[in-house]
């Protein structure tokens, strides 16, 4: 038990995600003894690499993450890696692909031979490729006879670019795989603090009675990044912060914060409750976007380039000028527990700090007998360091007048637990191998999220105005501060 035997086939196997996240995660799983000796990783790409070439590439790019005392383990891990060249160009839209030629039979043939005789193992097809390839790849796998009853498919985000495209992808993939075989990744769900949020809420008694609109003033969910988008314009021009971060990561955090206690910790019970939150989100339509949403784009400052000046293979277009690299939204969950409690969402590139957190701000005390109090805040920090802080009011030591000071009751996971915290991808890959989809997005969840996002996208598209500029290295455009400021609230900025 706990050891997995599977063939993991990675589409886009030499790509950025595979080299930066998947391969290191698999190595750590191997090191922790979770992979059986027969476990194989089969990377697919057009690269024309041999197994030896691929192992050499992985060795060159990932070896610095391997502890000095595990060189033997690393060599054993490299031995699990295989590479098959499949020309996937006609699906990825690349002009080097075989548009005229149709299926690359030689490539699929090579994959078929490698998998032959292993039909009774688990087989995982990991699609780390653009969403438009998901349907076609699943069909190709099916036509090549490679989809066994023990197969699973993992889909990377973004799942489409709006509701209709997401539904189409879900239909296409769903024609080949059953829903229980489909694992839609949102890597935020693999982060330790995100899972801890559920434990904090549902394994402790003290929070539940105050986790509602009677005691909570508002919630802030921030994912701030210092990085810009160098080399990513091709993707980002058509994504933007709303599709890239809010539709998935931020809405997932919102659902976990707002969901009702599930009756069990199993896959359907948890996801049923999450979907209900998405369905309860008040739609933001038409002219309401001006009141409830803000979009910004960073411009050059302090030696940092603006979005339009980032290195890219093509010059900026109208789409580049219109795309938001920052957004802030005032969302509302229309149900008994949360009516009247704003959920402010905010994410941006080139902000002054890298920080992802959920901040729950409680109401003021009903009647204050001391001057200078401030409301309690519960801060769940996902990164850079993981931890939970409860900001409480304390008396500053001293004789004379009582002076209040907010002080944090602080839990740092790094200091409290000495065990290694696994990377999100490691956790999620382990769940895929175990066949546990609790931390993956179900079809109805993804579609409910798009259903809320689409009207905002449409309203933005119909506006003549461009996103508000903000200087690189700052906390976003003025509008983001006004969004809270007009009800006397402020973003949580302190460390
Ligand atoms: C990805 C987005 O899903 O998440 C990126 O496409 C973003 O634009 C990344 O940088 C952030 O992930 P993390 O784990 O660094 O917060």
Q: What is the pLDDT of residue 88?
A: 63
128 CA from centroid of ligand 1 (Å): 14
Q: Which residues are catalytic?
A: 249
186 lines ligand 1 (CB under 6 A): no
Q: Which 8-state DSSP code applies to residue 38?
A: T
Could you tell me if 221 and 250 are in contact, meaning their C-beta atoms sit under 8 angstroms apart? yes
Q: Kindly provide the ipTM of the predicted complex, given to two decimals.
A: 0.96
Sequence-ordered strand ranges (E) for 115-234: 122-127, 151-155, 182-184, 216-224
H/E stretch holding 45 reads strand 40-45
252 lines ligand 1 (CB under 6 A): no
310 lines ligand 1 (CB under 6 A): no
369 CA from centroid of ligand 1 (Å): 45
Could you tell me if 6 and 45 are in contact, meaning their C-beta atoms sit under 8 angstroms apart? no
357 lines ligand 1 (CB under 6 A): no
140 lines ligand 1 (CB under 6 A): no
Question: At a CB cut-off of 8 Å and minimum separation 6, what does 138 contact?
Answer: 125, 147, 153, 172, 173, 175, 176, 177
**Which of the four pLDDT bands, split at 50, 70 and 90, describes residue 413?**
confident
Q: What is the pLDDT of residue 422?
A: 87
- Determine the number of helices (DSSP H) and then strands (DSSP E) in the chain: 19, 15
Angle between helices 163-174 and 443-462 (to 10 degrees): 150
Average pLDDT over every residue of 132-154: 94
H/E stretch holding 235 reads helix 233-236
Closest Cα to atom 15 of ligand 1? 225
Could you tell me if 129 and 137 are in contact, meaning their C-beta atoms sit under 8 angstroms apart? yes
55 CA from centroid of ligand 1 (Å): 27
Residue to probe by mutation, ligand 1, list 186, 225, 382, 383, most atoms within 8 Å of CB: 225
> Considering only 16-30, 102-116, 261-275, 363-377, which range has the smallest mean pLDDT?
102-116
**Which of the four pLDDT bands, split at 50, 70 and 90, describes residue 90?**
low
386 lines ligand 1 (CB under 6 A): no
Please tell me the distance from the alpha carbon of residue 244 to that of residue 328, in angstroms, as a whole number.
13
Token pair of 276, please? 């209900």
Which residue bears the tokens 């688990």?
Answer: 122
From the number of C-beta atoms within 10 Å of its C-beta (0-12, 13-18, 19+), residue 71 rates as exposed
Q: Check whether 434 has a pLDDT greater than 70.
A: yes
Q: Check whether 99 has a pLDDT greater than 70.
A: no
Please tell me the distance from the alpha carbon of residue 212 to that of residue 337, in angstroms, as a whole number.
5
Please tell me the distance from the alpha carbon of residue 129 to that of residue 91, in angstroms, as a whole number.
10
- DSSP string computed for 335-397: STTTTT-EEEEEEESS-SS-EEEEEEEEPPPSS-SSTT----EEEEEEESS-EEEEEEEEEPS
**Which of the four pLDDT bands, split at 50, 70 and 90, describes residue 135?**
very high
Q: Give which of 291, 273, 353, 228 is closest to 479, Cα–Cα.
A: 291
Closest Cα to atom 13 of ligand 1? 188
List the alpha helices (DSSP H) in 32-162. Answer: 51-62, 71-78, 89-92, 105-115, 134-143
- DSSP string computed for 283-310: P--TTHHHHHEEEEEEE-BTTBPPGGGS
Taking the CA atoms of the chain, what radius of gyration do you get in angstroms?
24
201 CA from centroid of ligand 1 (Å): 25
């Amino acid at each position: 038990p706990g050891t997995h035997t599977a063939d993991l086939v990675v589409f886009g196997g030499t790509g950025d995600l595979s080299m930066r996240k998947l391969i290191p995660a698999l190595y750590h799983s191997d090191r922790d003894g979770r992979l059986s000796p027969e476990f194989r990783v089969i990377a697919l790409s057009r690269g024309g690499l041999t197994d030896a070439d691929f192992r050499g590439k992985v060795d060159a790019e990932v070896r610095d993450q391997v502890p000095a005392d595990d060189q033997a383990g690393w060599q054993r891990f490299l031995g699990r890696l295989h590479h098959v060249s499949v020309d996937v160009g006609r699906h990825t839209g690349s002009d080097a692909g075989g548009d005229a030629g149709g299926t690359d039979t030689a490539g699929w043939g090579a994959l078929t031979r490698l998998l032959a005789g292993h039909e009774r193992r688990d087989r995982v097809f990991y699609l780390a490729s653009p969403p438009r390839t998901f349907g076609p790849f699943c069909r190709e796998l099916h036509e090549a006879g490679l989809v066994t009853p023990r197969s699973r498919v993992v889909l990377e985000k973004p799942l489409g670019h709006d509701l209709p495209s997401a539904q189409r992808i879900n239909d296409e993939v769903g024609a080949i795989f059953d829903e229980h075989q489909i694992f839609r990744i949102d890597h935020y769900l693999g982060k330790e603090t995100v899972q801890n949020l559920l434990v904090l809420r549902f394994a402790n008694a003290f929070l539940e009675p105050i986790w509602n609109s009677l005691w909570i003033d508002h919630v802030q969910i921030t994912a701030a990044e210092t990085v810009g988008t160098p080399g990513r314009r091709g993707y980002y021009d058509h994504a933007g912060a709303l599709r890239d971060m809010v539709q998935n990561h931020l809405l997932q955090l919102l659902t976990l914060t707002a969901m009702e206690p599930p009756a069990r910790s199993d896959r359907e019970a948890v996801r049923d409750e999450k979907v209900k939150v998405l369905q309860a989100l008040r739609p933001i339509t038409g002219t309401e976007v001006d009141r409830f949403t803000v979009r910004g784009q960073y411009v050059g400052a302090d030696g940092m380039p603006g979005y339009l000046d980032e290195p890219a293979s093509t010059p900026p277009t109208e789409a580049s000028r219109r795309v938001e690299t920052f957004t802030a939204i005032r969302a509302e969950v229309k149900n008994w527990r949360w009516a009247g409690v704003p959920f402010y969402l905010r994410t941006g590139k080139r902000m002054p700090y890298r920080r992802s957190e959920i901040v729950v701000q409680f109401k003021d005390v009903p009647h204050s007998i001391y001057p200078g109090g401030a409301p309690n805040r519960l801060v769940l920090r996902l990164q850079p360091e993981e931890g939970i802080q409860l900001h409480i009011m304390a008396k500053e030591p001293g004789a004379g007048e009582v002076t209040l000071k907010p002080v944090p009751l602080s839990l740092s996971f790094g200091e409290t637990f000495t065990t290694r915290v696994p990377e999100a991808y490691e956790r999620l890959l382990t769940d895929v191998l175990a066949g546990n989809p609790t931390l993956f997005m179900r079809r109805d969840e993804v579609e409910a999220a798009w259903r809320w996002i689409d009207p905002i996208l449409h309203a933005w598209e119909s506006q003549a105005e461009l996103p508000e500029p903000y200087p690189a290295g700052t906390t976003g455009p003025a509008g983001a501060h006004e969004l809270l400021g007009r009800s006397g609230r402020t973003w949580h900025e302190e460390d």
